[in-house]
Amino acid sequence: MTVDRRQRPQADGGRVVPNYAFTAGRTRSLAGADMPIEALVTATELGLAKAPGMAPEMRAIVEASTEPQSLAEIGALLGVPVGVARVLVSDLAAEDHLAVHLPLVGTDGRPRRELLERLLDGLRAR
Amino acid sequence: MDSVHADGRAATATDVAPGARRDLLPLKILVAGGFGVGKTTLVAALSEVPPLSTEQQMTSLSDGVDDTSVVPEKTTTTVAMDFGRVTIDDSLVLYLFGTPGQSRFWFMWDELARGAVGAVVLVDLRRIDDCFAAIDYFENRGLPFVVALNEFPGTDGVDDELVRDALAVPPGCPLVHVDARDDDSCTRALIVLVEHALARSV
């Protein structure tokens, strides 16, 4: 059986390295299953210390995260889908190279009232 | 609670990098609407960085009928989303996600809508068909939303009550007028949304 690669000319968005190569074929990460697209990450001291020896994409994530970055921003930075960024970020978090800051929601799944009030104050001050 | 590792352990002060702010909290608001209605323009007007684009790769079972093949067919769809960022205070960061309005992408909205403050449904009065699906979706999910009329030439002076009727905007749901290019105008729409969300929060 032959595979005609021309059938999916832009399947990887023109990237040289396919997404599955970044993640060793994984599309899910146990640790990151609930990490939403707006979750923020920051580099830890350990992560920054180890960054020079990391794979390029991991190093890029850690070094960008000296300022808080969302999962969406990590995806945009690397030019990979959010799902791929989630796997990479989960791996870095599992090694204590990144700290993950999740949204704070109440039992109804909505942001807490005090957060909405702070958001409102911030928007009114713009 | 607000700062945990992915494995659920609480982050400690010692493993936060110097200069990194603790107690960081992300928030998100969705900006929904049909193609070309001005979602990206609105995100750009509010965002402190040029809007970024990210891809969400979605796999769903194809909905073909009478599929007799042994292996279920899967389709992978890559959906591009523009998003922007607004720093609210020293620990709150608001993200705005422009969400594809076409109904075939709704399978991704559930994930996006989870935990959101609410949504702005952006409407071009010259093409209102594009917004019904979004209004239905947010109403059914109980997500607070406002309907924002993007003021294109030739759409001014339209009676709000007529618009509410035509769009079947639910009672109590705010209707606002915006110029998606204007920061202040878009900020006002967000303020109305957050006030609405607060009024509905327990």
- Could you read off the pLDDT of A61-114 as tens digits, one per residue? 999 999 999 999 999 999 998 989 999 999 999 999 999 999 998 888 899 999
- Could you read off the pLDDT of B53-107 as tens digits, one per residue? 887 765 554 444 444 444 555 566 667 889 999 999 999 999 999 987 666 666 6
Task: Determine whether the interchain pair B114/A36 forms a contact, defined as Cβ–Cβ distance below 8 Å.
Answer: yes
**B17 assigned to some structural domain:** no
- Could you read off the pLDDT of B32-65 as tens digits, one per residue? 988 888 999 999 999 999 999 887 765 554 444 4
Residue B165: how many CA atoms within 13 Å on its side-chain side?
Answer: 5
**B8 assigned to some structural domain:** no
Distance CA B139, CA B125 (A): 20
H, E, C per residue of chain A: CCCCHHHCCCCCCCCCCCHHHHCCCCCCCCCCCCCCCCCEEEECHHHHHHHHHCCHHHHHHHHHCCCCEEHHHHHHHHCCCHHHHHHHHHHHHHCCCEEEECCCECCCCCECHHHHHHHHHHHHCC
Tell the residue number behind the tokens 């109804």, with chain if given: A108
Residue ranges per structural domain of chain A: 17-124
A125 CA: distance to closest CA in chain B (Å)? 9
Residue A19: closest CA among chain B residues belongs to which residue? B57
**Residue A125 identity (one-letter amino acid):** A
**B44 assigned to some structural domain:** yes
CATH code where residue B158 lies: 3.40.50.300
Residue to mutate among B88, B141, B185, with most A CBs inside 10 A, is B88
B140 CA: distance to closest CA in chain A (Å)? 15
H, E, C per residue of B2-48: CCECCCCCECCHHHCCCCCCCCCEEEEEEEEECCCCCHHHHHHHHCC
**B123 assigned to some structural domain:** yes
**B34 assigned to some structural domain:** yes
**B148 assigned to some structural domain:** yes
Residue to mutate among B15, B43, B75, with most A CBs inside 10 A, is B15
Name the domain count of chain B.
Answer: 1
User: Is A38's Cβ below 8 Å from some Cβ in B?
Assistant: yes
Question: Residue A111 is nearest to which of B5, B56, B115, comparing CB atoms?
Answer: B115
B166 CA: distance to closest CA in chain A (Å)? 29
**B11 assigned to some structural domain:** no
Distance CA A22, CA A25 (A): 8
Tell the residue number behind the tokens 């001291």, with chain if given: A45
**B1 assigned to some structural domain:** no
User: Is A68's Cβ below 8 Å from some Cβ in B?
Assistant: yes
Give B100's strand partners.
Answer: B33
With bands split at pLDDT 50, 70 and 90, how would you rate the model's confidence at A15? Answer: low
Task: Determine whether the interchain pair A120/B18 forms a contact, defined as Cβ–Cβ distance below 8 Å.
Answer: no
Region at A25 (left for phi over 0; alpha for psi -120 to 50; beta for the rest): left
Distance CA B96, CA A73 (A): 12
User: Is A100's Cβ below 8 Å from some Cβ in B?
Assistant: yes
Distance CA B156, CA A56 (A): 52
Distance CA B55, CA B82 (A): 9
Give B-chain residues touching A96 at CB under 8 angstroms.
Answer: 5, 15
